[in-house]
Chain A
Amino acid sequence: MTNNKPTLKARLFEGLFDKNPILVQLLGTCPTLATTTSLQNGFGMGVSAMAVLILSNLLISLLRKFIPKQVRIAAYIVIISGFVTAVELLIKAYLPELDKSLGLFIPLIVVNCIILARAEAYASKNGPVDSMLDGLFMGLGFTFALSLLGAIREILGAGTLLGFNVMWPSYKPMLIFVLPAGAFLTLGCLIAAVNAIQNYAKKKSGGKQ
């Protein structure tokens, strides 16, 4: 560990790959599995969670000196659920289609472990700008993983991407990938792929460490 502040680029990379909330830290698996039936849904979920993450990180970091230690978790939950309700109402008003397909999982962003984990681990100890950036990078990592998962499932399960046909005409969609079972399988294989890449990287740099 060094005391130097990591550069923005390093932190972006950390959020997207090294400490990706879904693929590496395994936080927030419920919405990941449930909402990634297509790229559009996965992306929508990712962006909604990212908005809540950035705003709640900002507010919690601003209030971090006023919130008593004993009741901090309860205070965080109230702040988070306030923002979630706002996002929920906005989506209902402007994107009714997305609201229909995400349904229950928008209010459930409240109990998404990523948001509470970042509030506790980062925003409660760092300044507002840093916390907002942390929310942005972690949110990007979350959105990235959800979009990737959604894209894979949509291509294999329906043969489309964002509603356009992308596979050859005789391709028969494998329905299993849009069903719950396919969600587990795709996420399992993605995490295994990430592990394999990490093992390979470790082996390559193994001589130095």
Chain B
Amino acid sequence: MTIGSLIGILITSILIENYIFSRFLGICPFLGLSEKPSTAVGMGCAVTFVMTISSAVTWLVYTFILVPAGLEYLKTIAFILIIASLVQLIEMFLKKSVPSLYTALGIYLPLITTNCAILGAALLCIQNEYNLLESIIFSFGSAVGWTMAIVIFAGVRARVAFSETPKCFKGTPIALVTACLIAMAFAGFQGVELPF
């Protein structure tokens, strides 16, 4: 493992295999919360925070508890429970120690448990056979990519709201068509070959 491969993982997870536009993870909050750029930023921060921590914890649990016990097939159940309790813990911790961050992220935290991006990141780290550091970098990069996508999308949607759309396309359909156009732009990263 070199620094180069870590940077490679970071760039791949942010741009080339962007969570929303190439892996389709975390679409529900992407469509639901992207009407205002400020909400999008809040949700993005909360996701980044939780995703990085939860991937590290699930990796540790998988490697040191599930694998030695031969219970790999229980990973889905174990991971979802870890994520749910972790979100609760983080919420309580932030409420006590960092109230300013809690007020900023507060309403988004409970929503994260059912965000498939978080569980997806935990499962992908195992599937790709990353080590602990690689898992942390990968999930951090994925979350940053997700945040970037949702903030860009929120900006575009704020503009689209002012334009005239056919009646049946109002709301979600036009948002999906917008997402299609952004996805085409992101598809340009697919052919990029990293030098490391």
Contact = CB atoms under 8 A, between A and B. Distances in A.
Interface stretch (A55-63, A83-91, A127-135, A154-162): A83-91
A82 B187 contact: no
A185 B174 CA distance: 9
A30 B25 contact: yes
Interface stretch (B3-11, B48-56, B75-83): B75-83
B77 A33 contact: no
B183 A184 contact: yes
Interface stretch (A9-17, A108-116, A164-172): A108-116
A196 B117 CA distance: 32
A184 B179 contact: yes
A111 B26 CA distance: 10
B185 to A, nearest CB: 9
Contact of A180 (B21, B80, B124, B173): B21
B159 to A, nearest CB: 17
Interface residues of A, number: 42
B120 A104 contact: yes
B184 to A, nearest CB: 4
Interface of A: 26-31, 33-34, 74, 77-78, 81-82, 84-85, 88-89, 104, 107-108, 110-113, 116, 176, 179-185, 187-189, 191-193, 195-196, 199
B176 A188 contact: yes
6 contacts: A33-B24, A89-B73, A181-B184, A184-B177, A188-B177, A195-B167
B95 interface: no
Given A74-B81, A195-B173, 15 more contacts: A78-B77, A85-B73, A85-B77, A107-B75, A107-B76, A111-B116, A179-B183, A180-B183, A180-B187, A181-B21, A184-B176, A184-B179, A191-B176, A193-B168, A195-B167
Nearest to A112: B116
B123 A107 contact: yes
B93 interface: no
Contacts of B41: none
B114 A185 contact: no
